[in-house]
């Protein structure tokens, strides 16, 4: 491979890495608003359905926290398939030992884009920012 070709490969890899970092799902601007608009009304202090409170700090109540309904953590960073929250959103929670209804029950399931944002956030390590 010529130096010029090697330089182009390195530049392309660097550009891809930068683009990947920019495309990472942001909890504060992309995930928390989903919880705020679709989930928090049933998961606030005094009305903590399923023992889950999402207000005022949803991240601390989800990431690395054991589920009260299944033998999984609510959010297992890096593993959507091992995260009870993700199973509840998909409606596959009974297959992982969970119970209850698919979330959110009153407004209907989240749309595919919201579920994908949450899945990617978890897969990317469930960062706080």
List Cβ neighbours of 63 (8 Å cut-off, separation of 6 or more). 74, 75, 77, 126, 128
Q: What is the pTM of this model?
A: 0.81
**What's the distance, CA 119 to chain centroid?**
5
Tell which phi-psi region holds residue 100, choosing left (phi > 0), alpha (psi between -120 and 50) or beta. Answer: left
Q: d(Cα 73, Cα 83) in Å, to the nearest integer?
A: 6
pLDDT (tens digit, 0 to 9) for every residue of the chain, 129 residues total? Answer: 434 333 333 344 444 444 455 699 999 999 999 999 999 989 988 878 888 999 888 999 999 999 999 999 999 999 999 999 999 999 999 999 999 999 999 888 999 999 999 999 999 999 997
Element (H, E) at 13: helix 3-22
Helix, strand, coil percentages, rounded to 5, for the chain: 55, 5, 40
Delimit the domains of the chain by residue range. 25-123
């Amino acid at each position: 491979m010529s130096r010029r070709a090697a330089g182009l490969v390195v530049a392309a890899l660097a550009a891809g890495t930068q683009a990947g970092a920019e495309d990472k799902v942001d909890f504060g601007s992309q995930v928390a608003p989903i919880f705020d608009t679709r989930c928090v009304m049933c998961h606030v202090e005094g009305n903590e359905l399923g023992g889950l409170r999402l207000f005022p700090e949803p991240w601390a109540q989800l990431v690395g926290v054991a589920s009260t309904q299944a033998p999984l953590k609510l959010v297992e960073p890096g593993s959507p398939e091992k995260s009870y929250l993700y199973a509840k959103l998909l409606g596959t929670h009974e297959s992982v030992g969970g119970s209850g209804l698919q979330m959110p029950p009153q407004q209907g399931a989240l749309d595919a884009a919201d579920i994908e944002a949450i899945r990617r956030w978890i897969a990317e390590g469930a960062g706080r920012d």
